[in-house]
Chains A and B, each alone.
Chain A
Amino acid sequence: MQTTEAASVPPSLDEKKKEVRSPIWVKLRPIYPFIVILAIWQVAAMQAQGNQGRLFPTVDAIMFRAWELVTDPLFRALAENPNLDLMGYFWKLLESPILLHTLNTAWRLPFSFFIAAVVGTIVGILMGRFAFWESFFVPLLSVLLPIPAIAWTPIVVIWSGIGDQTVIVITAFASFLPIAMAVWTGVKTVNPVWIRAAQSMNADKMTIFRTVVLPGSLPMILSGMRIGLARAWRAGVGAEAFAGIRWGLSAGIFDAQEYLDIAFMMVALGILGLFGFVLEKVLFQPIESRTVIRWGMMEAMGAQDKKV
């Protein structure tokens, strides 16, 4: 008996940490495909230099352009007025178009997503808990879900004009739909044995909801949020371009098209990609590793081990 127990002792936390700590080259491994692609790009761009120059910039040209985009206003300001104070420099730095584009996208998107997450969770819970709301929302959402949210842009522009509000409405709407659906599914499919277990200890409905249904549906809710964020990202970026607003990374990309400024486009695209990556890293992975992964609920859902 003693031995059975000893055999089933999981490794202690310290041991686990040691296992996870891996050498730096292992951590940096996901970067190497990018290096390969960039190298190929560089070679191809150098070949094409002769006739296409600006249309197919080399990697170093893009990097230089990125640097230039960020610091140009600052240097220009320096040239005009060499004795600017620190805050002055800061404000000048903020005048750089690429930063303005980035900042605009950076607040609009999380803001819209947040609205969608809150509303989507509430609607999903209503649907999961009350037959009335279920029969009300399910048909609506099923019809709305397949429509690309971008397609609503012209209507929303006509109704609410050109501006942040239009982009926010489109983005929030796009990500609201999958979130509501996922929360609904999660609430409906909580393991009934957990609910019976709570019932057998005389937990009332509200308590069961709070202590069993919510944590029990967390894996579904989180994966819904993920899909919601991806959708928000797509819709938001599209809406920026089509709603005709001035500031926003993809608005910037479409502007740059006019001047054939490929380097700018590449830089903006890179930032967009980085954005998604950072959101995943700072938002979802910490939440997941602290909750559903720690509880072993992802294995139950059949999720694969994520390395990146």
Chain B
Amino acid sequence: MKVHLEIRLLPMLNKVIGKEELEFDFTGTTVKELIEALIQKYGQKAKEALTTRQGEFDTMIQIALNRKVWITADKHDAPLNDGDIVTFMLLIGGG
């Protein structure tokens, strides 16, 4: 499947991938599989940018589908469709 990826406010991941937006081809149908495919393709640096030291997905990163729906960390099995816009964005709320 092919999705349009947007990487926002994640400078570490931007650096690894080399850009903020790209068309991304991967085998799989869910958000979870998309994350796994990203790590597979871009290696250790991408893994560090997307996961915590314990190896779990870093929940400070929020994922939006088609700029409308938030796929929260407990819903990563949500299905994707060809042509979907998937945005990864770092969101910090405290003060």
User: Do the two chains bind?
Assistant: no
